[in-house]
Structure 1
Amino acid sequence: MKLTRRALPALLSLSALSLLCACAAAPTAPSTPLPGPGSSPAKPKLIVFVVIDGLPMRQVLDNRDLFEPDGFRRFLDRGTWFSEAHYGHAHTVTAAGHAVMLSGAYPQRSGIISNEWVDPQTRKPVYNTMDADYQYIGHKTAALAGTSPRMLLAETVGDVLRGNEPASKMIGISGKDRGAILPAGHKGTAYMYMSETGQFASSTYYMPAHPQWVQAFNAARPADAFFHKAWAPLLPGWNCPQAIASNCAYARSVPDGQTWQSSGGNGNTLPAVLGAPLDKPGPAFYGNILASPFGDELTLAFARAAIEGEALGADDRPDILSVSLSSHDYVNHAFGPESRLSQDHLLRLDRHLQAFFRDLDAKVGKNNYLLMLTADHGFADTPEWAASQGRDAKRIPGSDLVKFANAGLGKQFGDGRWVTELSAMGLLFDEALISSRGLKREQVYAAAKLVMLQHPEVAAVYTPDELAANTPAPALLQQMRKSWHAERAAPVQVIMKEGRLFGSRPVGSSHGTPYRYDTHVPLLSWGPAWVGAGEVKTPVEIADVAPTLSRVLGLRAPAQSQGKPLPLPLPLPLPLPLPLSR
């Protein structure tokens, strides 16, 4: 894909008066937009963009008192954090979120409407980063495997940066292919975890063979160090009763071993020994690493190797490193964000981040890099747990919607499989059947909307005319418009009621709705030379990240960006000292 290149300088200005004002800022940071063109501090040598897959903001705030001084609290105590940061689109899934972050483009522009979908024209399955023209380097490449950013119809901050500064580097790393490829964009380089071997690999889209540093990392087989290692509770009091008035850290979460928690993989109780039934490491063990704290530890080890091997942040040409940590998503899917296992995982992740950040301080220099952390989506509590607390929550199998739609349409138009399947949040129709009965598709779509609105668990239904319009609309329709791409999405989109978990899995939890528990995510930043300190309560969107980082780098925003610069407070004149580890 050939991307448009046009440089519009947008440098930050900081006057002495501004700095003095920033020194006297209140604990809650003012919503001050980034300054316009003028004199500016040097660009960061490195931007480190951290994504915690599947982390709702409520989990961060609920555990703030348990964090170490320099993990999440580096942001919360000494950086700028946004307490009302949300995704603006409706179908909040991993690929869509990762596509928004560094492009600023919602699925309606990026084309990444879901993790997978069904092509409305060919009716073939589509994966968000599939590309049969490329293969994983040194590894098997399954059908529909994620190997390139070809499906991404938007450019990223890294694409603009490398268009202006070809010597700059954009590296994307993740446990998931989509978590590495989509933030890396078209001109970056992506490395993803191979669950069959425990190694990291790129694809032939980026290079014909791995550089020496990647070969050395994989040859050392670091994943094998976790074989038969126990994931045990980090803090004392694992078996304390829930919600008791005590000093027990785990009293605020749901104990392990619940019937609605998945017992597959590493099991649903701690301690859990990885690879316990096996005699030696193999695909089953390597796959289960991701659903444990060791998946993040391994990914961060590879990120350290990338910083060293690629000399990231070593010169005056700015680089970007995107690290998407996948394990929390797997843990929340299996056990729910309310679970004790999820809480323990988050606390361990905090310790891993603290170690990584301090390594960055030593390697790159604390005044040379900018940190930003967010998540690709939030998470719903497991329906069974929520229902036990008196909330209206339940699981809704997707097949029920198809049956309901066909029953209602059959009464009006005669028997037939009018709706063939679900694609992401939408209904796909048998267009040939519609034509053969002498009907217009718009007529059937409108009828399907009326039918689905009679479903007791459906909140809203939208037709192509409503989705394609650019008129004032209720919040749900606005969110759904941002998720809908006319050529890739199903024509009729359905939104379930709040508290409904859509899918076929009988245990665990998920995400993907336009509701607060799925849209509200952390957006945290730190970098003494570029970012002030304090909580910003102004509502913002994750689409605002791309134009913000573009301004920090003195670049134009990505062409398809729909965000605006974040209201970051001005930086302090001198960096605050880091506290000693307790």
Structure 2
Amino acid sequence: MKRFISLLLLVTITSVCLAQSSITKNQIPSASSFNERPKLVVGIVIDQMRYDYLTRFYNRYGEGGFKRMMNEGFNCKNNHFNYIPTYTGPGHTSVYTGTTPKYHGIIANDWYDKEIKKSVYCAEDTSVQSVGTVTDAGQMSPQRMKTTTFSDENRLFTQMQGKTIGIAIKDRGAILPAGHTANAAYWFQGKDEGNWITSTFYMNELPKWVVDFNKKHSVESYLKTWNTLYDISTYTESGSDLNDFEGGFKGKETATFPYDLKTLKDQNEGYDILKTTAFGNSLTTDFVIEAIKAEKLGSDNITDVLTVSYSSTDYVGHNFGVNSKEIEDTYLRLDLELERLFKSLDEQVGNGNYTVFLTADHAAVDVPSYLQSVKIPAGYFSSSDFSKKINDFMKATFGASDLIESISNYQIFLNREKIHQLDLDLDDVQEAIVNEIITYDFVDKAYTATAMTSTSFSTGIEQLIQNGFNQKRSGDVIYVLDTAFISYSKTGSTHGSAFEYDTHVPLLFFGKGIKHGETFQKTEIIDIAPTMSALLDISYPSGNKGEPLEFVFN
């Protein structure tokens, strides 16, 4: 009997110990669990990419670029911006912060600063110095961005061991995504220099690999003839090459292929001409691939973040329009650049060790003069006429000609000190302006700042305006133009509105941790940052309002 009890006790103790051992093993993460994170996250933003560029040019794309992402990764087909204005600065910031201008504070590329009474640029910082250029083009930093990015959170999570590097031809496209804690951000200085530069916010001198790149990869090699990649007669997904809706280059009579860039360079801001060609994207890819090698990104099990923005697509769109042969050729060539980048990642980091997402900072409208030619309502809005008319109204109504300090980004900024001096009620002045401008041709909607701060909008354009409204930085009155009416030249495309042609952009995920699939479920641009944070199992950015898209994960 005693032997039986002793045996039973031994079995019980053994069972308890095994159970405790099992619980302990489940509770304490093994070393291998930390290796489940990708070694490198690459965020790609295509400047001014409409969603339909994926579908319009699909049959001409190769298998290794856009199609590889769609065939191996996850395609969110109904992805939208959830605020206005849809500009480059706010777009890049929202992608990486998981929130809107209401919280991150980048309300436009440039905006009127109500405190210092002048326009400011989203990335400017006169407290830092240029590195790699003798100009002030390097006096830039993310200091105006009020929240963290997911790349910041990754730096914090890894005790600053995980690297973050941002790269783009545009300074704001490199700086804002990389965040406040980035190891580096590099952008392109054209003019008569043609170099990649940075600022003392990041470093006091360029790394040797950047100096060497600027020397060895002379931009002269990109100054060649830009002709179509394939026979132009096969470019059936765009309009005629010769038309009245494109800008072109100074020194060339028509905006038609081919373009001799070396000949046109001196009349078109020197090396800046490369920005407005497909070769600007080639230059970007070359620099990105060199950065991966030189910085050893993704070489260990501590996740690095690389932010890449292809800026030339925006310059080409602004110049030639969304229906041009030039935009078709630019995207066919960009597809090859993506393939080249992915092959380099396969070689340097290893297929299955990195994760990529691709999206855009905004889309763009068809050239209104083209839309008019096919009988679609569209047109142009004169900002100067609007300014004169509203100032005349203010003088006639309130007896003063200096009550408006600035009109920019479809917002009116009032001289609040003057309004106080005249003993006027600010709400009454705002409301009077709204009631006046809503009667103007091509103004579709108008709202006061008071309405934006006192009313909660849950749907429609009103919600998008509110998401883009920052109480300290935005204006006193916000107005919206009719669909496809823009304040711009009569050639080329632009963006900034709350309409589908500006808000609907691609969202592709691909690589480690991502399953293959697609959805028409509506997703928003602010969902990207929390999705990447969830993939990395790190804190969400400080101002995050998005939701992780768990359906994209394996």
Q: TM-score, normalised by structure 2?
A: 0.90
1:205 equivalenced with 2:204 (yes/no):
no
Note closer, same or farther for the CA distance 1:548–1:383 as it changes in structure 2 (3 Å cut). same
Judged with a 3 Å threshold, the aligned counterparts in structure 2 of structure 1 residues 146 and 562 are, in CA distance, closer, same or farther, namely farther
Native 8 Å contact 2:132 2:195 kept in 1:
no
C-alpha displacement at 1:371, in angstroms? 1.0
The residue number in structure 1 matching 2:127 is: 133
Specify which of 436, 442, 454 is matched with residue 439 of structure 2.
454
**Contact preservation (8 Å) 1:88, 1:541:** yes
Q: Which amino acid aligns with 1:223?
A: V
Separation in structure 2 between the aligned mates of residue 201 and residue 561 of structure 1, nearest angstrom: 30
The CA distance in 1 between the partners of 2:141 and 2:62, in whole Å, is 37
Instruction: Give the superposition deviation at 1:411.
Output: 4.0
What letter is aligned with 1:194?
A: Q
Q: What's the counterpart of residue 154 of structure 2? A: 161
Structure 1 residue 156: Cα displacement: 0.6
Tell me if the contact between 1:265 and 1:288 (Cα under 8 Å) persists in the aligned partners: no
The 5-angstrom pairing of residues 158-237 of structure 1 reads 158-165=151-158, 166-188=160-182, 189-196=184-191, 197-227=193-223, 229-236=224-231
CA distance in 2, matches of 1:556, 1:282: 49
In the other structure, the counterpart of 2:401 is: 416
Structure 1 CA distance for aligned equivalents of residues 301 and 267 of structure 2? 43
How far the C-alpha of 1:264 sits from its partner, in A, is: 2.5
Residue 261 (structure 2) pairs with residue 274 (structure 1):
yes
Aligned 8 A contact 2:367 2:490 in 1: no
- Kindly indicate whether residue 68 of structure 2 is the aligned counterpart of residue 74 of structure 1: yes
What is the deviation of 1:475? 1.3
RMSD: 1.9
Q: In the alignment, which residue of structure 1 is the partner of 2:355? A: 370
Partner in structure 1 of residue 539 of structure 2: 556
Per-residue CA distance 1:120-160 (angstroms, 9 max, x = gap): 232211000111011221313438x6511100101011111
**TM superposition shift of 1:293:** 0.9
**Mean CA deviation greater in 388-397 or 257-266:** 257-266
Matched, 1:93 2:87: yes
Name the amino acid aligned to 1:106.
T
Q: Which SS does the other structure have where 1:403 is aligned?
A: helix
Q: In structure 2, how many angstroms separate the alpha carbons of the residues matched to 1:474 and 1:312?
A: 42
Q: Could you give the per-residue CA deviations for residues 329-373 of structure 1, whole angstroms, max 9, x where no partner exists?
A: 000000111111111111111111111111111111111000110
Q: CA deviation at 1:415?
A: 5.5
Q: Distance in 2 between matches of 1:75 and 1:65?
A: 15
Distance in 2 (CA, whole Å) between partners of 1:117 and 1:139 is 26
1:29-44 paired onto structure 2 within 5 Å: 42-44=36-38
* Structure 1 spans left out of the alignment, 5+ residues: 1-37, 241-247, 572-582
Q: Give CA deviations for 1:76-105 in whole Å, capped at 9, x if unaligned.
A: 222101001011111000000011011112
Aligned equivalents of 1:465 and 1:407: distance in 2? 23
Are 1:147 and 2:140 matched, yes or no?
yes
2 CA distance for matches of 1:324 and 1:570?
Answer: 24
Deviations 1:21-53 (A, max 9, x none): xxxxxxxxxxxxxxxxx9787100001111111
CA contact (8 A) 2:316 2:327 kept: yes
Equivalent of residue 427 in structure 2, options 425, 442, 450: 442
Q: In the alignment, what sits opposite 1:335?
A: 320
The residue number in structure 2 matching 1:28 is: none
Match for residue 429 of structure 1?
Answer: 414
For the pair 1:258 / 2:243, whether they are aligned, the reply is yes
The answer to whether structure 1 residue 313 and structure 2 residue 298 are counterparts is yes
Q: Structure 2 vs 1, CA of residues 474 and 534 (structure 1 numbering), >3 Å: closer, same or farther?
A: closer
SS at match of 2:263: coil
Instruction: Using the TM superposition, give the Cα deviation of residue 465 of structure 1 relative to its aligned residue in structure 2, in angstroms.
Output: 1.6
Q: Which AA in structure 1 matches 2:178?
A: A
Deviations, residues 257-288 of structure 1 (Å, cap 9, x unaligned): 3223113358521111112156xx89833100
3-state DSSP of counterpart to 1:288: helix
Distance verdict in 2 for CA 1:86–1:277, change over 3 Å: closer
Pick aligned residue for 1:119 from 113, 124, 132: 113
* Counterpart Cα distance in 2 of 1:61 and 1:545: 22
Greater CA drift, 307-316 or 403-412 = 403-412
**Partner in structure 1 of residue 503 of structure 2:** 519
Counterpart contact for 1:156–1:558, Cα < 8 Å: yes
DSSP-derived class of the 1:117 partner: strand
Q: Matches of 1:43 and 1:72 in 2, distance apart?
A: 24
2:44 alignment partner in structure 1: 50
Give the C-alpha shift of residue 469 in structure 1: 3.0
CA shift, 1:173, in A, is: 0.1
What SS is found at the alignment partner of 1:171?
strand
Does structure 1 retain, via aligned residues, the 8 Å contact 2:430–2:448? yes
* Matches for 1:343-422 after TM superposition, within 5 Å: 343-414=328-399, 416-422=401-407
Which one-letter code corresponds to 1:258 in the other structure?
A: N
Deviations 1:533-558 (A, max 9, x none): 12111100110011010011110101
- The corresponding residue for 1:109 is 103
- The residue aligned with 1:25 is none
CA distance in 1, matches of 2:251, 2:35: 48
Match of residue 492 from structure 1: 477
Per-residue deviation at 1:314? Answer: 0.3
Mapped partners of 1:261, 1:401: distance in 2: 26
Q: Tell me, what secondary structure is at the counterpart of 2:271?
A: helix
Alpha-carbon separation, structure 2, partners of 1:146 and 1:484: 27
Identify the match of residue 530 of structure 1 among 507, 513, 520. 513
What is the rounded CA distance, in whole Å, between the counterparts of 1:41 and 1:523 in structure 2?
26
What is the distance in 1 between the residues matched to 2:62 and 2:105?
A: 39
**Which position in structure 2 is the counterpart of 1:24?**
none
1:473 deviation in Å? Answer: 4.4
- In structure 2, what is the Cα distance between the partners aligned to 1:292 and 1:362? 28
Partner Cα distance (1:164, 1:39) in 2: 16
Greater Rg by CA:
2
**Structure 2 Cα separation of the partners of residues 481 and 563 of structure 1:** 16
8 Å Cα contact 1:148-1:203 kept in structure 2: yes
Can you list the C-alpha shifts for 1:515-567, whole angstroms capped at 9, x where unaligned?
A: 1100110101111x311112111100110011010011110101101101014
| TM-score relative to the length of structure 1 | 0.86
Moved more, 350-359 or 168-177: 350-359
Task: Please give the residue correspondences for 1:289-328 in structure 2 after superposition, counting only pairs within 5 Å.
Answer: 289-328=274-313
Unpaired runs of at least 5, structure 2:
1-31
Judge conservation of contact 2:142–2:180 (CA < 8 Å) in 1: yes
Q: Answer whether contact 2:411 2:474 (CA < 8 A) is retained.
A: yes
Q: SS of the counterpart of 2:97?
A: coil
2:249–2:264 contact (8 Å) kept in structure 1? no
Considering fraction of residues, name the structure with more helix: 2
CA distance in structure 2 between the aligned counterparts of 1:83 and 1:468, rounded to whole angstroms:
33
1:45 and 1:318 in contact (8 A); partners too: yes
For 1:456 and 1:282, the matched residues in 2 are separated by 38
Structure 2 residue aligned with 1:539: 522
Q: How many angstroms apart in 2 are the aligned matches of 1:497 and 1:183?
A: 32
Distance 2:181 2:477 in 1: 35
Runs of 4+ aligned structure 1 residues displaced above 4 Å come to 38-41
2:128·2:139 contact (CA, 8 Å) conserved in 1?
no
